[in-house]
A and B are shown apart, each in its own frame.
Chain A
Amino acid sequence: VFAPRAGERTSGLISTRVVYDQLASVYLPIAIGVFAFFTLMIVLSVLRYRDRAEPSRRSENNLLEGSYAVLLVCVVAFLLYLTLTDEHKVDSVANHERPALVVDVTGAKWEWEFRYPADGITGRSGFVGDQPLVVPEDRAIRFNLASQDVIHAIWIPQLEFKRDLIPGAVEHVTLTFTRTGTFDGQCAEFCGLHHAEMVFRVRVLAPARFASWAAAHRGRAT
């Protein structure tokens, strides 16, 4: 049931962005189609039946409506099949991947702390600094998410993924970046006065470059 669809896996890993794009490419045309259909029906009815002399008295067609309801149930089943399959991949399958890197992410009013326990590197971003989250491309990365005060949410649009950081527990997510470059990240859950300034950047490096970056920064700040 949970077999990958073509083109989904990049280097054998789950990419939240690819999963999102594939699911969206099914949902979006259906949504646009349904919108266009009903809008067209309404507009055509208005054009055709405006100020007509004798209105019809027909007020139900339960056979047609019942069949239509069955069709709707099938649509729901189809959407749920797709969406639950994908949700399973992002949430469960990804977390079974063996991470190439572990990063502890801590949110606090109004800054991000990125700690690389294996290399002893620490970086801070947001209100206090502008040290990016540096990660290797095409590697499973385990993020341990924690908050020191209120609820924050780590939101990286490039990954089409966010997760809340709730004080009192550590959440684990496994994510993979499939493109090198510098991307934006931001806190998405309102966390008080300077919420808007709780921003950071993600620098995705080729694995070899990441390794030399980590070696150069070992035991220091990013």
Chain B
Amino acid sequence: MTVQASSARPAVRRPGGWLGAFTSTDHKRIALNLGCMSLVFFLLGGVFALLMRSQLASDNSHLVSDYTYAELFTMHGSTMIYLFVAPMAIAMAMYLAPLQIGAVSLAAPRTALTGFWIWLGGGLVMQSGWFAGDGPGRDGWFSYVPLSDSQNTPGTGQDLWTMGVTLAAIGMLLMGACVLATILRRRAPGMALLRMPIFTWTALVTVLMVVSGFPALIIAMGLLFIDRTTDAYIYSGFAGAIDYQDIFWFFGHPVVYVMFFPFLGAAAEAVAVCAHKRWFGYKAFVASMLAFSALSMAVWAHHMFTTGGVTNQYFAATSTALVVPAGIEYFDLVGTLVGGSLVLRTSMLFGLGFFVQFLIGGLSGIWVASPTLDYAANDTYFVIAHFHYTLFAGSVFGFFAGVYHWFPKITGARLREGLGKLHFVLLVIGTNLTFFPMFLVGEDGMPRRIVRYPQHPGWVTDNRLETIGAGIIAVGVLVFLINVVVSMRRRVIAGDDPWEGHTLEWATSSPPPPLNFNRPLPPIRSYAPLLDLRQQIADAGPPATGAEIREEASA
């Protein structure tokens, strides 16, 4: 396979330097560019969050105006969702899935590269609203009509927001489609679907969700753009308002799982490797992933329980049914830990942190899946707490588990463990201090998206705790950035397989060569081929030489 691919490649001289890096069709390069740009947007979205938290630290603050506050929460949500978590999910899938399935390259890499540029263009278009006379988008990250029509929110900024989201969605759709095609068509010989690693399975369902959900976003935003710029009256009246929400959330719920699956996969891989055991209950886990993705296409209107325009009972049933696949996932986690030999590296800490904290997000999700309970929680800080426990306390922790796990593979250097543990401790304290009090003020009735709350001095204490927590998160992220810089400057060489990894990306150099594998792949008999090999060697007795491993590998 390697030979074929390299002989088929025409001898074209690629440009070097920055131009080469940003026009490369190597999936690792595109994914790294995507991931690094997403991280820049993460820092930007974090700054917006810190400004909002500073505003809310007292009940009648005038640090920012009502107008600026609307811009801040809109751009915080939009930046985090369209420009950080979702693209970062795709970046991880694009970098790792081809390596894990033994593919030498991405399917349709030029399409993926185009997608990256369209996504980045969309992000810049959205942010360029800050330089428009009337500021950027200011109707929230889901911009309900009729608030977001040209009458209620006139001006260039909201147009730029709408077009930016459309472009970002088109870019992610293209990249997701390439990863989907790669996983389905480019697996190495022996890599049956049911031998794909845990992370690759989560990547597969992620890009399935991208391909089935993102077109709805493109439609919702495209029609909104037409509605804003012409006299089309597409979303008019009661039906138009409900239709917009239906189309938007038909994207909006699958994307929740796009923003969850790969980070679950990353946490699961980190935990399994650090437990020196293969992930427990593989088939049940794969079935639960498929059940998750099927259900996630059928739960969208639980965002609309209070509209009176949808069948609440049906969406309550599908949403509550998510207990089953989620419960399987936790069973498998405990099964993996029990009987293992656990090493508490930073990646393991973040992995376990992901599972413990995500549980709060998941259980509060079952809570708001009940219409009766959601009538109270909807649009209050309870919901903010719920989805930040899934997205930040969950996905971002899973992301960092993946970073500490795969950084050596991607760069060839290890991250510092001491700084990593400090990063972890700060992030755990900051996260829970920020988001747990939101459950309490939400339960007490505090609505989301209010700039001041002078009628409610009782909410000040909790809000102040949240602001302090947000500051601690910022310090934690700073420690992470320092860790990256220090580790890249004074490199501790990682080697090909620093953690005794289970999957094929550890059977190549760090970083992997342009066509991914510089030596024959080991035999693929399960979802943990390197662990198989290690166990086989252990069973064969002491004299396991390098020659034997190579012999076994080439057999």
Contact = CB atoms under 8 A, between A and B. Distances in A.
Interface of A: 16, 19-20, 23-24, 27, 31, 34-35, 38-39, 41-42, 45-46, 49-62, 65-66, 68-69, 72-73, 75-76, 79-80, 83-84, 86-87, 90-91, 149-151, 153, 155, 157, 160-164, 166-169, 171, 184, 186-196, 199
A51 B341 contact: yes
Contact of B316 (A83, A160, A167): A83
B552 interface: no
B200 to A, nearest CB: 17
B282 A60 contact: yes
Contact of A20 (B241, B317, B352, B375): B375
B33 interface: no
Nearest to A158: B445
Nearest to B376: A160
Interface residues of B, number: 86
Interface string B341-362: 1111000000010011001100
Interface in B351-406: 352, 355-356, 359-360, 363-364, 366-367, 369-373, 375-376, 378-380
Contacts of B332: 65
B499 interface: no
B193 interface: no
Interface in B288-340: 306-309, 312-313, 316-317, 320-321, 323-324, 327-328, 330-335, 337-340
Contacts of A160: 375-376
A45 B307 contact: no
Contacts of A68: 327-328, 331
B451 A45 contact: no
B340 A31 contact: no
Chain A CB within 10 A, most for which of B236, B238, B338, B445: B445
A166 B450 contact: no
A86 B340 contact: no
A58 B372 CA distance: 43
B277 interface: yes
Interface stretch (B139-147, B224-232, B252-260, B484-492): B139-147
Nearest to A189: B379
Q: Which 5 interchain pairs have the tightest Cβ spacing?
A: A157-B445, A56-B339, A168-B238, A45-B337, A168-B237
A49 B337 contact: yes
A23 B368 CA distance: 12
9 contacts: A20-B375, A46-B344, A50-B343, A59-B277, A60-B335, A68-B331, A80-B317, A167-B241, A195-B450
B343 A51 contact: yes
Given A59-B280, A65-B328, A83-B316, A163 B306 contact: yes
Nearest to A199: B455
A188 B374 CA distance: 13
B217 interface: no
A190 B456 CA distance: 18
Contact of B444 (A57, A153, A157): A157
